[in-house]
Structure 1
Amino acid sequence: MEKWVGRMLSSGNLYSANIRLFPIAPFGPGGLPDNVDNLLITWQSTNTYNAGLDLTTWNKRLEFSFDAYKKVTSDMLLATQLGAYSGLGTAWNDIKTPTTNDGRMTNTGFDIGLTSYNIQNNNFTWKTNIIFSKYKNILNRMNEPNATLPGTFDEYGTKSLVTLSQQGRPLGAFYGYVTDGLFRSQAELNNGIDYGLSIAPGSLWLGDVRFKDLNGDKVVDDKDVTVIGDPNPDFTYGFTNTFSYKGIDLSIFIYGSQGGDIFNYSRRQTEALSSPYNNQLTTVLNRYSANNPNGDLPRYNQWHNNNNRISDRYIEDGSYLRIQNVALGYNLPKSLISKIKVSNARFYVSVQNLYTFTNYSGYDPELGALNNNIRFMNIDNGHYPVPRTFTLGTNIEF
């Protein structure tokens, strides 16, 4: 139910001024202004343009389709960018700035489909279907050239900036520090760059992660964060082969994705190496130590959290090829089933998610959006993997 207080609503929307109600406060129930209204805003608009081509050749043995598209989203609903002088902001405890219609985002791409009837005779048929897709996402314009849409991940009350959407870049690009290996010598520690910590075994020391000074000011700080990955794949594809021999049929479907990055957030806990009481992956056995100076992972470090900064240390290639479905079936001969007044009887066995070829270290490279948030694409925080499913069944028609 909406509760009006002047021009203020206690139920949230973007066009009116809202209030936040508190049932318990030092002087009893009360409320605070939540945002500044803007009664002129409208719905954002989307225009989609398509062009396609379908061809059939070689006596209908080869079918080809091509579809190109462009989707333009304009008048996006964005928070007004105002300076601190206004007393307004976008944080959870701020009085929010007005929402305005501004911003533009473009998705362009194409899909190619190819179907081939390779063999067709009375006893044996073989059909192949291939699909190839490619798209590109760009956030063309925001209400200010330097405006951003931060993707801040809340981990038990600790907020970490993982993605940052900026004008001229893809939505949800990973954002963080760039690593430069580990400190493995005293000379590397004393390289003249200020990392914000003193040089000592209980502070910055051998085996800690070394970050790049991107702007060259001899200080590694938040001015050295940059785009470290893109969750969008270069292209996706699918491949289906269907065979039939007399009463036996076999179908094999594989698909894949190439080039998309994954931020393996779960490794921030399982490879943290900051507490002897936390479960860790077996990969930490190859950490840096006095006995293993060539270890791949940083040393055990309970003194500071620099080694676990949001960085390209957790960026992995999310490319994969998956055998998604294999189905084998058998249709009983008509001469046999007609005796029991059955028109068709088919027995089949199938398996879903048979095997995935990937170099990704997590359970499943096919992630989607974390918490259904488009700014958190391909972030793995313990994503439950797709199960492998075996099915045995029959289809009987009378």
Structure 2
Amino acid sequence: MTLTGLRHLLDFTMQQFRNESLFALAFGFPDGRTGYHNLGAAENPQNPANNELEWSMLSYLGRVNYALKDKYLFTLSGRIDGSSKFAEGNKYGFFPSGAFAWRIINEPFMQDNDFFDDLKFRVSYGVTGNQSIGPYNSLALIAPFGEGVFNYGPDATVFFGQEPTSYPNQDLKWETTRQANFGVDARFWNGRLTLTADFYDKKTSDLLLGTPIPFTTGFQTTLLNVGNVNNRGFGLELAADVFTGEFTWNSSGNISVNRNEIANLSRDEDINLLAGGSILREGYPIGTFEGYVFDGIFQSQEEANSGPRLRGETPQAGDRMYRDLSGPNGEPDGFVDEFDRTILGTAEADFTWGFSNDFSYKNFSLNVFLQGSEGNEMVNMNTLNLQNLNGQQNVLAEAGLNRWTPDNPSNLYPRANANDVFNSAFSSRFVEDASYIRLKNITLGYELPEGIITKVGIERLRIYGSATNLFTITDYSGYDPEGNAYLALLTSWESIAEPIQWRKPIRLGLT
């Protein structure tokens, strides 16, 4: 059958989000049994507080689809979105897109082929917008600051002050992404093997990011359109029916490669983010870490006196040592300062992958799913915080018990020091390889025979057990290489295969 036709869609949408909250706080209940059910009974009620939040969006949508001979498929679409979150003059954005697909399998020259069951080529280009930010970032907001008194004495007048609570960005506008995609879909060998390949080139401009600003403004950060970011990469997925019949085995695997690069920043200098060691720098990916190179521990006072030192500081035996890479003239100068900060790694992986297998035999089924990431680094903030031996917080027992002392010359853990300037500087000591291989999930199920369950009025009953994150093979010393820098550091199961970490949540259920 040959399909040729034109379809179109026109649409108009409006959405509004509104949140209202009311807080009440009170102390001193004469009868604790009533609690918050009777706030008016409290002996020490506090002032109530409330909050309101609102934003809205208006959209006009259009799409046209055209199919010619079931071989050439065209799609054109466009949308105009207006968001209240952006500044005046920047509220609306236009986002068009177009796509073309060529079903090569339906061409006359493919009719006699015995290799392909289906073959299609795809290409598309489109622009999308991002408004996933909080409202009011383009406005100057104020809130009560407190109260004061004019004219002390009998003529005193109480006044209530206001203070600004945000640094407004009156140029705030849509973040836009332009993306080109090229893809191939193919099916071979009577449908038992399926291949999907996608290549993309994505350019994001006016990236929305909370960015540190000079303290002289009265604020630490504000939301800015900071620059342009490029992402290029490909994804490949292969699925196969390995065995069919009474025993079946369906397997699928995928691999993804992405290369991220900051193409342009809205300022000449780097942007240092508040998270440990993260910077934004032109030519480097988002998630780049910069700091000093950790070079061991000063083992003696003579070594500390002659070794590189943080500018303005005097190191002692037992302090961390950092590599002197450069100076104002480009040569090592004996001091460790901003000239010695270097790139320590990036959170961007060389590639990520997944591998899933489904087995079934009669009424039994088994799914095994593995995934992994290779070549990415992560900042272990727990190492930075819990190995800081300044006496002001808890520390890891391993670091505290094995810290440097004259009788225990550790080259990894520094001495205990209340003035811990040397040992708290951000360095490669806290940047770790976060590559991993994880057995993400195993699910074993059994479907009861119809002859048994229909007698009790049940159409279908499946019993299953599922185990998640059974083990992870990684060199990352934190809790989860798949998480973020701030996840709690937990003690892992250790054996001869020390990098293997065991996590065994088990779930049982019925469907």
TM-score, reference length from structure 1: 0.78
**Aligned residue in 1 for 2:284:** 169
| Larger CA Rg, structure 1 vs 2 | 2
Inter-partner Cα distance in structure 2 for 1:193 and 1:336: 78
Q: Residue deviations 1:217-246, cap 9 Å, x none?
A: 322123322222211222111111111111
**Please, which moves more after superposition, 25-34 or 320-329?**
25-34
Out of 170, 173, 183, which is 1:52 matched to? 183
Inter-partner Cα distance in structure 2 for 1:116 and 1:328: 21
Matched, 1:183 2:183: no
Matched, 1:117 2:241: yes
Residue type at the aligned position of 1:236: T
SS across alignment from 2:414: coil
Preserved contact between residue 78 and residue 103 of structure 1 (Cα < 8 Å): no
Inter-partner Cα distance in structure 2 for 1:138 and 1:129: 30
Matched, 1:206 2:317: yes
Residue type at the aligned position of 2:466: S
Runs in 1 of length 4+ with deviation above 6 angstroms? 78-81, 95-100, 383-387
Preserved contact between residue 296 and residue 411 of structure 2 (Cα < 8 Å): no
Preserved contact between residue 273 and residue 279 of structure 2 (Cα < 8 Å): yes
Q: Residue deviations 1:252-293, cap 9 Å, x none?
A: 111111222111111223211222873433244333322222
Q: Residue deviations 1:127-164, cap 9 Å, x none?
A: 11101111122111012332x332114xxxxxxx5311
Structure 1: gaps of 5 or more residues: 82-88, 154-160, 368-377
Inter-partner Cα distance in structure 1 for 2:457 and 2:224: 69
Q: CA deviation at 1:364?
A: 1.5
Q: 1:291 to 1:231 in 2, by over 3 A?
A: same
Inter-partner Cα distance in structure 1 for 2:178 and 2:207: 13
Q: 1:383 to 1:47 in 2, by over 3 A?
A: farther
Q: 1:234 to 1:21 in 2, by over 3 A?
A: same
Inter-partner Cα distance in structure 2 for 1:128 and 1:68: 23
After superposition, where does 1:250-261 map in structure 2 within 5 Å? 250-261=366-377
The alignment's C-alpha RMSD in Å is 3.5
Inter-partner Cα distance in structure 2 for 1:77 and 1:277: 35
Matched, 1:143 2:266: yes
Q: CA deviation at 1:41?
A: 5.0
Matched, 1:324 2:455: no
Inter-partner Cα distance in structure 2 for 1:209 and 1:95: 33
Q: 1:381 to 1:149 in 2, by over 3 A?
A: farther
Q: Which has the higher contact order (CA 8 A, sep 6+)?
A: 1
Q: 1:194 to 1:264 in 2, by over 3 A?
A: closer
Q: 1:281 to 1:98 in 2, by over 3 A?
A: closer
**Aligned residue in 1 for 2:486:** 380
After superposition, where does 1:218-367 map in structure 2 within 5 Å? 218-275=334-391, 278-367=394-483
The count of residues paired between Structure 1 and Structure 2 equals 357
SS across alignment from 2:303: helix
Matched, 1:105 2:229: yes
**Aligned residue in 1 for 2:76:** none
Q: CA deviation at 1:37?
A: 6.1
SS across alignment from 1:344: coil
Preserved contact between residue 381 and residue 485 of structure 2 (Cα < 8 Å): yes
Q: 1:296 to 1:194 in 2, by over 3 A?
A: closer
Q: 1:295 to 1:250 in 2, by over 3 A?
A: same
- Percent of paired sites with the same residue: 33
Q: Residue deviations 1:23-54, cap 9 Å, x none?
A: 3265643446765764x653222212211111
Preserved contact between residue 273 and residue 280 of structure 1 (Cα < 8 Å): no
